[in-house]
Every structure is written in C-alpha cells, then in structure tokens.
A and B are shown apart, each in its own frame.
Chain A
Amino acid sequence: MQDDLAIRARGLRRSFGDLRAVDGIDLDVPRGMIFAILGPNGAGKTTLLRILATLTRADAGEARVMGHDLAAHPERVRAAIAMTGQFASLDEDLTGRENLVMLSRLWGFGWRAARGRADELLAAFDLSEAAKKQVKDYSGGMRRRLDIAASLIVSPGVLFLDEPTTGLDPSARAGVWRLIRGLAAEGVTILLTTQYLEEADQLAGRIAVIDHGRKIAEGTSRELKAQTGSGVLHVTPLDPGNREIALGLLGETAQADPEGGRISVPVADDAEAAAHLARLAQAHIRLAEFSLGAPSLDEVFFALTGREAA
C-alpha cells in the first residue's frame, strides 16, 4: 500500500545540459524509517533530494511524498516536509535565536509563540548559550544543529538531510547522529544523503546506492554486504617486517592497508579463514590481531561499481 510509504518515486529523471544527474530512479521509503542515499560526489544524490523536496523540477517520472503528488500539489508536499541543505541555510548576520524567530513567524506563529518556539529549540539543541551570537561566529557543528533545528519548527512528516555531517569533526558528527536517531524515534521519516559508508551503515534502516544518477543497489546494510557474497579476514602481523611475507602467503587477493599494517583478504567462509591463519602460524608469523567480518561498505561499493568510493 502506497499509504504506508512516506516517499514513492518512479522513473525520476533530471538532466542539466548533457549531464544526466538523475537518470531513472525508483524509490520506496517506508514511513518512520531512516533511509540513506549513498554515493560518491556527483552521483546525483543532491539533485534527487531537491526533486523530492520540490526545489528542483524533474524532467520525467512521478513521485508521491506523504501521499501528495509532487507535480500536482507541490504546496501540499512542502507543507509535509522539511529540508536541510548541504550548506547552512541561515542568515549569517542574524543571531541563532533571531533566525529561528524569523522562520517561526514565517510558519505563522505570533511573535510571542515564535519566541517561545525558538527558545525551546535552542535549549533542545544545546544552543541556548549561543542564542545571541551571530550565526557567522558559530562552529560547524553548531551551525549544523541550528540548521536542523530550523527544519523542525513544525513537525515534518519527512525530513530531508543533505550530507548532514560533511565537514564535521567526529564529536560533532556523533552529536548529529544522536539527533537523527532521536528524530526517527519520534516518528519522523528521514531521507539523508551521505558519501560516508559508515554513516549509512550506522544510521539507516535501508540504503540505496547511487552512481551516475542510477540506483545500483538497495537493501539493508546487511543485505548489501551479503551481495558481495563473502566475508573478509583481517590480520595484523605483530612484526611489521613480516608484512610482505604474510601478503605472499595469503595469495593474490590479499591487500595491505596503506597505513596501520593490516592485511585484508576476501574469504568464502570461516574454514577458508582458518586455513589462512594456519598457513601464517606454520610460517611462524605471530599476529597482533585478527578478525573475520562482513565486508565494509567501502568494499561493497567497490564490488558494485568496480571503482573506489570517493
């Protein structure tokens, strides 16, 4: 039933001159889910998001967002969504509080209610202390939080987040992740784009992998990992001098990390992994650590596209 879907898109296309930014994408996003669109720079993620948020027109295809047809009723779609773009969409000259009051007013709140809503959001996003600072003096993480707060003046059915953590340091990124999980727990459907495989893996219930404007795979993180059909054995020799010997013993498919001295080798099952470990033990190569895991999404991306992720 499409009513269970927050977003249902069929055959969306958009070109800019010769560039097919979005080249026939279908998407079903269930309500209440964190859905990630994963792809390298220039894959068409932002264009896809902007089409669904009514900010860019599609050349072809159709989509319903929260049950409203994108082409026929863009204003109803707009009323049901919120979008946080890649760059902080705020007035840098104004303070954080003034930005939120202005936007609350434009949503239809009276002055007093607008100020109340602004203060409530500032407190929830840990920005009360910076409320009276101009946004141009905010750090990247604060800006991002304010930007997301500005999208939550009224409850959106769907929140679009375009690369929500690009350019943030690890602790600011963790803060934004907590925020996104918190919103999903409140029942907000979240469609986010990311070029960080780890981010999609950590947050999303489902992931669509996009490359050159086309969807090349979709599924849960686990399903995508399963598509490469194998796991990976990671070993780190105790003595870095043994790395070359270990590489030779593990065969042609083994790859050494440029840093850290870790070697990764794809394996079909645990028996093959055990055989590799036995070979290293026979050659008296002691290991600092070893692990067997599903392939990382980086490796999945490589398997799907034949190239490195950006």
Chain B
Amino acid sequence: MSIPLPRGPRPAAPSPASTALTFAWRAVLKFRHVPEQLFDLVMTPIMFTLLFTFIFGGALAGSSTAYLQWFIPGILVQTTVFNTVYSGMGLSTDLSKGLFDRFRSLPIWSLAPFAGLMVGDMLRHSIAGAIILGIGLALGYSPEAGLSGILASFALLLAIGFGWGWIFIVLGLVVRTPMTVMTLGFAVLFPVTFASNIMVDPATMPGWLQAFVAVNPVSLMTTALRALMAGTATLREIGLALLGPAVLTLLLAPLTLVLYRRR
C-alpha cells in the first residue's frame, strides 16, 4: 500500500474568514444529510403558534388575528432561544466523538471551532425564523413596518441567538452527554420564556412575577422585536434587548476558552 504523503511545503494557515466559511459549509451539509433536524427546530414553535393562536388567542386578545400580531414576534424570540439548546447538543456530540480533539490539533485559532458552530447556528436561526414567520404570514400576521421591519427583526434575532448560544456552548463543555444538555436547557428555558411577555400581557400576573417579567431579558428582547416589526422601535428598546446577549458574550466567550483549554 502506498500512501501519498505530500512532500512540498504545507499550505499557509487559513484565514479566520476561510475557516468560518468551511464551518458554514459543514452546517449546510448537515442540513442536506440530516433534514430531520429541521423538524426538531420548528416542530415545537409551530405547535405553539397554532395552539396559542386558535385555542387561547380569542380569549387572550379578543380574536385569533389580533393575538397573532402579539404572539408572532414573541414566538420568534422563543424559537431562537430554544434552538440555542441544539447548538449545545451538537457541541456535546462533537466533543464526545473526539471531533473537537481533531479541530484542536489543527493550526487554527482556538476559538474558531466555536465561531464555526455559531456560523451554523446563525443559519439554523435564520431558517427556523423564516419558517415560523412564513406560517405567521399565512395565518394573517402583518408586520406594520414591512420588509425593513422583518430584516431588522432577523438581525436582532441573530444577535440574540449569538449571545444565548454561549450559555449552551459552556454547558456543552461542562456536561457529559447531549441528552443532559437538552434536559438542563429546557429546564431553564421553559420557565424563562413563559415568565415573560411572549404569550400574554403581564398586566394580569401577580406583582412579584410582574417584577421578574419586567427585567427578564426574554421580555426585553420580545418588546424590541415587536417594536421593530411595528416600526416604532426606540434606541433604548433595542439597547435593552441587546444588553443580555452582549453581557453573555463578554462573560461566556472567555469562559469557553478557559474551559476548552483546561480539558
């Protein structure tokens, strides 16, 4: 057996952009080979949208159509936040399979594999968001700010996905199995997304809960997304919505690096 070992000089280390592109390509390939994962991503939000709109919508907002206006921006935030769990599971799988050991032994920037995961996540968030928005539009949702509102909203969604993604990257590094990442993730995310203004106006909640809802980053993000879709967003609203993701990134990106190097 003869093995073709290259004799010439090695290629120069790839640029961060080229590395990111390669990881994005991997994410696209995963969609192509495992289209079922799309089902995981949008199943729950589609179910939520239909249940809440047609069962609770009338009671909550007078009519299903009126409720859609309220609910669609919220479910987009929830979809994005929930989907960050799947990034953590993906990372946990890669780690348990030893794929990350291989990435680590490559001459690439040590955060590059994580940046790569993020690139894949952005793709996932965009696709899942587009599907949910498409269903909303088909049911009669109409964003007042039109296309520009939608584009601005998706930019915010990606920022949210980026920030929250770090939580599950850290979890993926600390927790041993992908299943545990998922269980832990949903144990935190369900209360945090329900105790927010995504589904209902918090005015009828008890005072202590209202106090939590008011400062819940999920509420702040939802408020900003509604405003962007309606074309009434203020800088303050957007700033508050970005605060959570920014703080998470600043704290957790360095922590990721430390945890990763310690392994």
Contacts and interface: CB of A to CB of B under 8 A. Distances in A.
A91 B1 contact: no
B106 A155 contact: no
Contacts of A79: 10, 107
A102 B19 CA distance: 9
Given A91-B30, A108-B10, 6 more contacts: A89-B97, A98-B29, A103-B106, A107-B10, A107-B14, A124-B4
Interface in B234-263: 262-263
A93 B71 CA distance: 35
Interface string A62-80: 0000000000000100110
Interface in B85-104: 94, 97-99, 101-104
Contacts of B97: 87-92
Given A120-B4, A124-B4, A186-B3, A108 B99 contact: no
A106 B107 CA distance: 8
A203 to B, nearest CB: 14
Contacts, number: 112
Nearest to A76: B107
Contacts of B98: 85-89
Interface of A: 53-57, 75, 78-79, 81-83, 85-95, 98, 102-103, 105-110, 113, 117, 120-121, 124-125, 134, 150, 152, 154-155, 178-179, 182-183, 186, 188
Nearest to B18: A105
9 contacts: A78-B104, A93-B34, A102-B25, A105-B22, A108-B11, A120-B4, A125-B3, A154-B11, A155-B5
A150 B102 contact: yes
Interface in B1-44: 1-7, 10-14, 18-19, 22, 25-26, 29-30, 33-34
B22 A106 contact: yes
Contacts of A56: 263
Contact of A83 (B3, B94, B105): B105
A155 B7 contact: yes
Contacts of A89: 97-99, 101-102
Which 8 A-B pairs rank lowest in CB-CB distance, beginning with the nearest? Answer: A108-B11, A89-B98, A105-B22, A89-B102, A155-B5, A85-B98, A108-B14, A154-B10
A134 B6 contact: no
Nearest to A94: B29
Contact of B12 (A57, A88, A95, A108): A108
A186 B103 CA distance: 25
B3 A107 contact: no
A92 to B, nearest CB: 7
B209 interface: no
B105 A81 contact: yes
A120 B3 CA distance: 9
B3 A106 contact: no
Contacts of A57: 262
Given A89-B98, A90-B97, A90-B99, A109 B11 contact: yes
B4 A78 contact: no
Contacts of B33: 93-95, 134
A152 to B, nearest CB: 7
Given A94-B33, A106-B22, A108-B12, A85 B107 contact: no
